[in-house]
Amino acid sequence: MAKIAFFSTQSYDRRFFENSSGKHSFEFFETRLKPNTVKLANGFDGVCVFVNDRVNEEVLKSLSDMKVGLVALRCAGFNNVDLKAAEKYNIRVMRVPAYSPEAVAEHAMALIMSLARKIHKAYSRVREGNFSLEKLSGFTIHGKTIGVIGTGKIGQAFINIAKGFGAEVIAYDKFPNEKVSKDGVRYYDFDTVLAKSDILSLHCPLTPETHHLINRESLAKMKEGAMLVNTSRGKLVDTASVIESLKNGHLGSLAIDVYEQEEKLFFRDLSDLVIRDDQIAQLMIFPNVLITAHQGFFTAESLQEITNTTLKNFDDYQEGRSSENEVSCSLIKDC
Ligand code: NAI
């Protein structure tokens, strides 16, 4: 039996994990894992973390000092873990590589549809008894060019949906996928995808190379009036440049499920507080911006899959087995 300390616990994590296997013992902490909370992991075999826990060298060294040998991510992305330090301190890192790529892809399309047809504005308008259509005119997705950056599991699920709309789908990936090309999606270089897309949707991981992939220069190369959609990781986008581009009218609209500084905001109810992050406060009042708080993954099906795979990861760790869900430096460049 492995003793696991959960960090960043939400009620649904507790519900799903408590209802599953009695093989391991869990303790649930609401706080994020970071240097000043890592002591809570003392006496446990492993920690189970989410997207905004800070698993840096300092945290990993402390875990190693406390003989905690496993970092189990309840997510696919692992950009918040210093894999080099994990290797140095001999700590195994496992993740849930795919739970429901379709869930994230569907959320990306839901954002696009809402923004394209101003559903977010229409919803509040009708609730107030205002049935006017003035200023609600949108655009038809059929026939538009949708650019996909990153054609992995989520990118491909998104492409299938986008094709169903009758959009022309084009893509950029550092490692183009033959199957995607065979399915009729044409790959171009990054700049060409920027220039051709009416809607640009990001589905690549956050790495040192993709940090601020969307910045002042790349925004300037985008089509005037285009929509930018980010359901991948906040730091892919330089928020200051996006605000500037929205203000000068070059970027037509923005839909984000992830935000550069989301660590300080997301997964918490801050409704009785003043939001001190000026950039998100500004984006929240733009009429052509739609923000959700990292809920792309959040379906019953995904939560069950995350639970099942994470429990299997605990089993593999406990039994000393190798795992296809293990992440290590060899998986990424610039580790
Ligand atoms: P994946 O690993 O299947 O696909 C990623 C694709 O990006 C691959 O085809 C890869 O070749 C490509 N790529 C790598 N470096 C690139 C670069 N420099 N430029 C362009 N493309 C590059 O990953 P998957 O499962 O499709 O997930 C993508 C991302 O979605 C994750 O890294 C994560 O950040 C995000 N995500 C967001 C969720 C949410 O709730 N909003 C939930 C799950 C994942």
- Which is catalytic among the residues 24, 54, 95, 294? 294
191 lines ligand 1 (CB under 6 A): no
Q: How large is the angle between the packed helices 101-117 and 119-127, nearest 10 degrees? A: 70
The sign of the torsion formed by the CA atoms of 156, 157, 160, 162 equals: negative
Pocket test for ligand 1, best of 104, 178, 179, 206 (most atoms within 8 A of CB): 104
Q: List the chain domain ranges.
A: 3-99+300-319, 101-291
Distance CA 58, CA 323 (A): 25
**What is the assigned CATH class of domain 3-99+300-319?**
alpha beta
Give the C-alpha distances (Å, rounded to integers) separating 72 from 11, 20, 204. 18, 16, 22
Name the nearest CA neighbour of 162 among 195, 136, 197, 130: 197
> Ligand 1 center to residue 197 CA distance, Å?
19
CB 50 within 8 Å of CB 297: no
110 lines ligand 1 (CB under 6 A): no
> How far out from the chain centre does Cα 315 lie?
26
For the stretch 130-162, pLDDT in tens is 999 999 999 999 999 999 999 999 999 999 999
Superfamily of domain 101-291 in the CATH hierarchy: NAD(P)-binding Rossmann-like Domain (3.40.50.720)
Distance CA 208, CA 23 (A): 38
What is the DSSP secondary-structure string of 162-228? HHHTT-EEEEE-SS--HHHHHTTPEE--HHHHHHH-SEEEE-SPP-TTTTTSBSHHHHHHSPTT-EE
74 lines ligand 1 (CB under 6 A): no
Tell me the CB-side half-sphere exposure of residue 271, using CA atoms within 13 A.
Answer: 1
Give the atom of ligand 1 at the shortest distance from the alpha carbon of 296.
40
234 lines ligand 1 (CB under 6 A): no
333 lines ligand 1 (CB under 6 A): no
What is the spatial order of strands in the sheet that 289-291 belongs to? 186-187, 168-172, 145-149, 199-202, 227-230, 253-256, 289-291
For the stretch 40-75, pLDDT in tens is 999 999 999 999 999 999 999 999 999 999 999 999
Domains 3-99+300-319 and 101-291 belong to one CATH topology: yes
> Ligand 1 center to residue 122 CA distance, Å?
32
Query: Has 233 been annotated as catalytic?
Result: yes
> Ligand 1 center to residue 266 CA distance, Å?
20
The whole model's pTM is what?
0.92
User: pLDDT in tens for each of the 335 residues of the chain?
Assistant: 899 999 999 999 999 998 776 789 999 999 999 999 999 999 999 999 999 999 999 999 999 999 999 999 999 889 999 999 999 999 999 999 988 999 999 999 999 999 999 999 999 999 999 999 999 999 999 999 999 999 999 999 999 999 999 999 999 999 999 999 999 999 999 999 999 999 999 999 999 999 999 999 999 999 999 999 999 999 999 999 999 999 999 999 999 999 999 999 999 999 999 999 999 999 999 999 999 999 999 999 999 999 999 999 999 999 999 999 999 988 776 67
> Ligand 1 center to residue 40 CA distance, Å?
31
